[in-house]
Amino acid sequence: MKLKTLFFVFCLSTLSVHIYADKESKVFEATQSASAKSAMLARQKALLHAKNLLATMVNGKVENTTKSYISHQTLTGLSSDEFISETVATAKTAIEGAEITTDSVVKIKNGYTVFITLTLSKSEVFDSLCKTLSTNDSTSPTFNKQKFLEEWNK
């Protein structure tokens, strides 16, 4: 019973951090858990789920920022789809730099539950996007970093 209570409190505190940290935080943060008979398998599953959640968060931010940026620019040098593809590809590369900040293993009755938290600096993702957009031959002539930053911060 004590373990279940501790597990519930941990999950609840993790959930509240995600809800609060979405706009205020300087990092993208994804926490996931998985259970399995072996701790190694549970860890692999939790890590995969956390990476997928982080990718969804980052891709959503990048796509929304890019679409908003395009709608406020008269010329981007590319079609909207090509511009978005360029930024999404850069974001995928940036996701690989995520760090594991929490890696907890809990022994349960039939195996293990593992909690994994991945974090990725929002400024690193933004800087990576700006570097790509300002050095790419087709986007650099019309790329406005200040306008992109305004859309990123919305």
Total domains in the chain come to: 1
88: domain range?
Answer: 2-152
The CATH number assigned to the domain holding 49 equals: 3.10.129
pTM check: above 0.85: no
Residuewise pLDDT in 10s, the chain (154 residues): 555 544 544 554 444 344 334 556 799 999 999 999 999 999 999 999 999 999 999 999 998 998 888 888 765 455 677 777 888 888 888 888 899 999 999 999 999 999 999 999 999 999 999 998 888 877 777 788 999 999 999 8
Residue 117 in contact with residue 27, Cβ under 8 Å? no
CA–CA distances in Å: residue 113 to residues 19, 49, 50, 54, 93: 23, 13, 14, 20, 29
Could you say which DSSP state residue 104 is in? E
